[in-house]
Amino acid sequence: MCDERERQLSAERPINPAFSRNPKPPSLAGAEAIITFNLKDFPEEELSKYEMTALHPDELIVNLIEINIGAVIEAARRHRKSLKNSPFTASEYIDLLLRQNLPATVSKIKTYQVSI
């Protein structure tokens, strides 16, 4: 994946001791998951080396709904209100979430549409 010059450069650089104790790359230190629509580029067998997982945003939002649905509804309401250039009604916003490939989220929050 890296070319010969990159291998040489990494061999020349001293390893930061803090990073050598953590198996994750420095940019992921402390992270448990990568949130992405692009799950195919983050295979489980590779992420498991770093004790990580990849989550689809729909799965993350549903997990958050199960923890605190009120906070998620409030976040959705604030997000919808922040869309000034193309304001959405609550119903249009729900449709937007569906078009954004968030069907499980939509099924969970659709009944709260009046609060969004």
Q: What is the pLDDT of residues 104-114, one digit of tens each?
A: 999 999 999 99
DSSP lists the bridge partners of residue 34 as: 54
pTM: 0.72
Query: Residue 51 in contact with residue 28, Cβ under 8 Å?
Result: no
Residue 85 pLDDT grade (very low, low, confident, very high; cuts 50, 70, 90)? confident
Indicate whether 12 pLDDT > 90: no
DSSP lists the bridge partners of residue 93 as: none
Q: What are phi and psi of 53, to 5 degrees?
A: -140, 160
6, 8, 11, 12 alpha-carbon torsion, rounded to 10°: -110
